[in-house]
């Protein structure tokens, strides 16, 4: 892919970049830095690895603890399939994916499902200030106690890197980074924020480190000192490579509280097999890299290495982890996947591969999955389950029995959570999740919770509030709604930034398919690239995968203080103002704009330390723009969101609304051609309009949308154009040949043009071009 090396476009306003697959990660970062932006995934190999490789491996890096991994920053993928078809996959944040989040599945598939040729990725503003600390501890245990203390104090550092004793000595001998030789372990931490906030946070971190028994804590005085400290961490592999003719670097991930146990296991395994292991870990996300020096010319050394390697993988699975967190499966770990997955789960992954690359012959054959059968015949039918289980199974095995029984009799099943959204049951049997109400694993130290699908929003929220944690999309849920239903509907994800969408928060899911087979994908770990990421098929699947029985969710520290506001005014003025807020460095946690006749109302949710500053500045800027600002109760915002969803559901049911279709009606040319005037297309026809109040505004696309005063198109130079059409930027490059033509379909009156509510998502996601299929 080396020649696919263009950064096609950087749009600092929408915080998007369109990048070809062969662009080296560090080159993209350098180009973005000019705009005060960065692309968060930063594998240690960022100077040599490409965006395509990062996407194919779902790469992580030291900053994942705060920003998530590659999949959380992908907006759209341009791929070539095994038969040569060029395709742009549906955007990762498509609300109502027809086939599930295919982009999420292709990311991390190691080039076995498609060749990625380009990607649109979301960008993040560079933090104003970063403070770097290095703390020395008597041992790994005390260092990990310090990590636990940070998490318990709800501090969310940007990085938390750990080196064990041997690593500290080895690295210091190699690069003289100023690491304290003799320490049992060191932690390298970074905190970010405005100058005052980052300073305060660094002081808190240092105090917690000392309380946890740190021997010394050093705060880098300037960028040069911080770079020196980082040089030590980054030299880990290079230094380890000097220990022996060869070094074998393992990559496993465990729930964070199990990290100390995993490090002890790795040491014990090294001792058992006579291999002096050295370990570095991304301590914030439970991902560790034990490195075993060995001699490839010595058959004894090689066989001991193989045994040690297998023992490490078995230990990590025993501790609830995944056999690879970020380096992938490739050929080496292919035959170890059965440690994590049952035969039918692997068969399902092979089934997915079969869809993309029949026979698995063309794309990276032999990689990523072990050989084996495709999904097999239906399981043997079971006896009729007890009557109670017909309505409300109380565990996954009861649900599996019921579904297998029903499948054998060709009965159709309708899945029901609280029933707040599902219409009349369309099945012969209604399968309710009301009996699945347990919270089997609430782990604040790992920032995860595992719930059964029928747990209500109120029950979960109460549990999280006690621990000072939150799941942002729960804020708008009705108390009786179930977590399984909310995830299946991908409900009400309108917040800004990482963590606002169920897609970012779902770490693992267990479901029973339509034949009664139980599947579990994902683990309670922040990183996991073992096998295909089928977890991403779940949000928005609306029962098509089967019945969710358990879901494991990533929790976030509750952002305090929280506030809400309502702003009213003429729709275009309000939209322009809202977009300015969405793009500002200090921005609200969520913005939801709904039209009410010629007027519009914007609901704002504010959360986190920036709330007081926003409450001071926003009323003034709103007033200056002629808008009416009122602070309001968060419950009012939640009620407005629910009302809007209710209307949307009603419009859907009446066929007046097609989901996810804002993009389908949009003119590709407008998006592709910087500075192009809005396409003079005719407005969407009237029949599809709802007359209800709080009606979502019509879809936005090429700029020819609802106009001032409820008209049908923007005036030249109106803020609507600005809203939907990224401006030309110095870093943007011209579109590739063949692109940028107006889509003729855009001229046609589209009877199904949806009522697209304006949700202001991070990085201006509504700019996305339509899902398209090109010629081979």
Q: How far is the CB of 21 from ligand FAD (least distance, A)?
A: 4
- Pairwise CA distance, residues 416 & 402, whole Å: 14
Q: How far is the CB of 328 from ligand FAD (least distance, A)?
A: 6
68 is an interface residue for ligand FAD by CB under 6 A:
no
Nearer to ligand FAD, 326 or 750 (CB): 326
111 is an interface residue for ligand FAD by CB under 6 A:
yes
- Pairwise CA distance, residues 170 & 724, whole Å: 53
Judged by CB under 6 A, how many residues of this single chain contact ligand FAD?
24
Of 76, 110, 265, 401, which one interacts with ligand FAD (CB under 6 A)? 110
What is the three-state SS of 166-235? HHHHHHHHHHCCCCCCCCCEEEEEEEEECHHHHHHHHHHHHHHHHHCCCCEEEECCCHHHHHHHHHHHHC
Structure tokens at 310: 């297998």
Q: How far is the CB of 202 from ligand FAD (least distance, A)?
A: 24
Candidate ranges 111-119, 272-280, 490-498, 737-745; the one touching ligand FAD (CB under 6 A): 111-119
Q: How far is the CB of 44 from ligand FAD (least distance, A)?
A: 3
H/E element, 141: helix 140-152
Whether 137 contacts 187, CB under 8 Å: yes
Of 130, 145, 149, 237, which one interacts with ligand FAD (CB under 6 A)? 237
Whether 90 contacts 181, CB under 8 Å: no
Q: How far is the CB of 365 from ligand FAD (least distance, A)?
A: 11
Whether 572 contacts 714, CB under 8 Å: yes
21 is an interface residue for ligand FAD by CB under 6 A:
yes
H/E element, 652: helix 634-653
For the beta carbon of residue 361, count every other beta carbon within 10 angstroms: 9
Whether 241 contacts 515, CB under 8 Å: no
Nearer to ligand FAD, 108 or 454 (CB): 108
Q: How far is the CB of 61 from ligand FAD (least distance, A)?
A: 5
Nearer to ligand FAD, 58 or 446 (CB): 58
- Pairwise CA distance, residues 431 & 421, whole Å: 15
Assign residue 360 a region (left: φ > 0; alpha: ψ between -120 and 50; beta: otherwise): left
Residue nearest to ligand FAD as judged by C-beta position: 53
List the x/- string, 323-362, binding to ligand FAD by CB under 6 A.
---xx-----------------------------------
97 is an interface residue for ligand FAD by CB under 6 A:
no
59 is an interface residue for ligand FAD by CB under 6 A:
yes
Nearer to ligand FAD, 48 or 613 (CB): 48
H/E element, 758: strand 758-759
Q: How far is the CB of 279 from ligand FAD (least distance, A)?
A: 14
H/E element, 692: none
List the x/- string, 36-55, binding to ligand FAD by CB under 6 A.
-------xxx---xx-xxx-
Nearer to ligand FAD, 98 or 355 (CB): 355
Q: How far is the CB of 536 from ligand FAD (least distance, A)?
A: 17
Three-state secondary structure call for residue 563: strand
- Pairwise CA distance, residues 247 & 768, whole Å: 44
Nearer to ligand FAD, 50 or 165 (CB): 50
Nearer to ligand FAD, 114 or 258 (CB): 114
Structure tokens at 383: 């006896």
Nearer to ligand FAD, 13 or 31 (CB): 31
Q: How far is the CB of 170 from ligand FAD (least distance, A)?
A: 15
Q: What is the DSSP letter of 363?
A: S
Measured in degrees and rounded to the nearest 5, phi and psi for residue 317 equal: -70, -40
Of 60, 232, 696, 735, which one interacts with ligand FAD (CB under 6 A)? 60
Candidate ranges 59-67, 256-264, 634-642, 668-676; the one touching ligand FAD (CB under 6 A): 59-67
Nearer to ligand FAD, 56 or 188 (CB): 56
Nearer to ligand FAD, 244 or 551 (CB): 244
Look-up: residue for tokens 């594998």?
Answer: 43
726 is an interface residue for ligand FAD by CB under 6 A:
no
Q: How far is the CB of 198 from ligand FAD (least distance, A)?
A: 24
Q: How far is the CB of 231 from ligand FAD (least distance, A)?
A: 14
Q: How far is the CB of 19 from ligand FAD (least distance, A)?
A: 11
List the x/- string, 168-187, binding to ligand FAD by CB under 6 A.
--------------------
Structure tokens at 439: 């919270």
C-alpha 222, offset from chain centre: 32
End-to-end alpha-carbon separation of the chain, Å?
18
- Pairwise CA distance, residues 588 & 574, whole Å: 15
For the beta carbon of residue 268, count every other beta carbon within 10 angstroms: 13
Look-up: residue for tokens 């009522």?
Answer: 755
Nearer to ligand FAD, 330 or 468 (CB): 330
- Pairwise CA distance, residues 267 & 281, whole Å: 13
H/E element, 80: strand 74-80
For the beta carbon of residue 691, count every other beta carbon within 10 angstroms: 6
Q: How far is the CB of 159 from ligand FAD (least distance, A)?
A: 11
Binding residues for ligand FAD (CB under 6 A): 1, 21, 43-45, 49-50, 52-54, 56-57, 59-61, 110-111, 115-116, 237, 326-327, 364, 367
């Amino acid at each position: 892919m080396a020649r696919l090396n263009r950064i096609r476009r950087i749009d600092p306003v929408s915080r998007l970049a369109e990048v070809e697959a062969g662009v080296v990660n560090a080159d993209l970062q350098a180009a973005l830095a000019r705009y005060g932006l960065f692309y968060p995934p930063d594998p240690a190999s960022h100077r040599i690895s490409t965006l395509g490789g990062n996407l194919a491996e779902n790469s992580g890096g030291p900053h994942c603890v705060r920003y998530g991994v590659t999949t959380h920053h992908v907006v759209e993928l341009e791929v070539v399939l095994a038969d040569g078809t060029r395709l742009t996959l549906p955007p990762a944040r498509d609300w109502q994916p027809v086939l599930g989040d295919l982009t999420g599945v292709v990311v991390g598939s190691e080039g076995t499902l498609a060749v990625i040729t380009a990607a649109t990725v979301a960008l993040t503003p560079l933090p104003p200030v970063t403070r770097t600390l290095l703390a020395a501890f008597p041992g790994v245990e005390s260092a990990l106690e310090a990590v636990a203390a940070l998490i318990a104090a709800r501090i969310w550092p940007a990085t938390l890197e750990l080196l064990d004793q041997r690593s500290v000595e080895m690295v210091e001998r190699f690069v003289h980074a100023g690491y304290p030789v003799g320490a049992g372990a060191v932690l390298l931490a970074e905190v970010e924020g405005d100058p005052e906030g980052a300073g305060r946070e660094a002081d808190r971190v240092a105090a917690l480190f000392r309380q946890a028994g740190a021997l010394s804590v050093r705060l880098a005085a300037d960028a040069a000192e911080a770079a020196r400290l980082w040089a030590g961490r980054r030299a880990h592999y290079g230094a380890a490579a000097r220990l022996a003719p060869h070094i074998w670097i393992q990559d496993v991930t465990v729930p964070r509280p199990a990290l100390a146990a995993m490090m002890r296991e790795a040491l014990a395994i090294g001792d058992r097999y006579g291999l002096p292991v050295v370990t570095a870990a991304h301590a914030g996300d439970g991902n560790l890299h034990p490195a075993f020096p060995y001699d490839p010319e010595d058959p004894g050394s090689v066989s001991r290495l193989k045994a040690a390697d297998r023992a490490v993988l078995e230990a990590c699975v025993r501790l609830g982890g995944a056999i690879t967190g970020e380096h992938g499966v490739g050929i080496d770990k292919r035959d170890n996947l059965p440690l994590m997955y049952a035969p039918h789960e692997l068969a399902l992954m092979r089934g997915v591969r079969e869809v993309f690359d029949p026979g698995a012959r063309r794309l990276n054959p032999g990689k990523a999955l072990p050989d084996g059968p495709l999904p097999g015949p239906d399981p043997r039918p079971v006896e009729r389950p007890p009557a109670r289980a017909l309505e409300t199974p109380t565990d996954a095995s009861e649900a599996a029995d019921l579904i297998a029984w029903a499948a054998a009799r060709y009965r159709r099943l309708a899945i029901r959570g609280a029933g707040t959204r599902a219409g009349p049951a369309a099945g012969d049997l209604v399968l309710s999740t009301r009996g699945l109400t347990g919270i089997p694993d609430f782990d604040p130290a790992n920032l995860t919770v595992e719930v059964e699908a029928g747990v209500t929003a109120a029950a979960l929220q109460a549990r999280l509030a006690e621990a000072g944690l939150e799941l942002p999309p729960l804020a708008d849920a009705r108390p009786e709604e179930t977590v399984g239903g909310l995830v299946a509907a991908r409900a009400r994800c309108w917040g800004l930034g990482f963590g606002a969408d169920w897609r970012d928060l779902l770490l693992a899911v267990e479901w029973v398919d339509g034949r009664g087979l139980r599947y579990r994908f994902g683990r309670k770990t922040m990183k996991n690239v073992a096998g295909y990421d089928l977890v991403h098929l779940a949000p928005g699947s609306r029962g098509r995968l089967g019945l969710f029985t358990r879901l494991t969710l990533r929790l976030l520290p509750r952002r305090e203080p929280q506030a809400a506001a309502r702003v009213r005014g003429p729709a275009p003025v309000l939209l322009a103002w809202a977009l300015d807020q969405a793009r500002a460095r200090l921005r609200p946690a969520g913005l939801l704009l709904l039209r009410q006749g010629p007027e519009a109302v914007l609901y704002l949710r504010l959360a986190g330390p920036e709330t007081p500053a926003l409450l001071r500045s926003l009323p003034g800027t709103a007033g200056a723009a002629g808008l009416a600002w009122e602070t309001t109760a968060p419950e009012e915002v939640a009620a407005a969101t629910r009302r809007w969803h209710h209307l949307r559901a009603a419009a859907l049911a009446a066929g007046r609304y097609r989901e996810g279709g804002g993009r389908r009606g949009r003119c590709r040319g407008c998006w592709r051609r910087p500075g192009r005037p809005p396409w003079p297309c005719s407005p969407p026809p009237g029949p599809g309009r709802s007359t209800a109040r709080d009606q979502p505004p019509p879809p936005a696309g090429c700029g020819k949308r609802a106009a001032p005063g409820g008209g049908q198109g923007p005036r030249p130079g109106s803020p609507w154009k600005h809203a939907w059409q990224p401006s030309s930027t110095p870093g943007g490059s011209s579109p590739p040949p063949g692109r940028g033509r107006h889509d003729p379909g855009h001229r046609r009156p589209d009877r199904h043009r949806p009522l697209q509510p304006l949700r202001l998502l991070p990085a201006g996601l509504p700019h996305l071009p339509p899902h398209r299929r090109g010629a081979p």
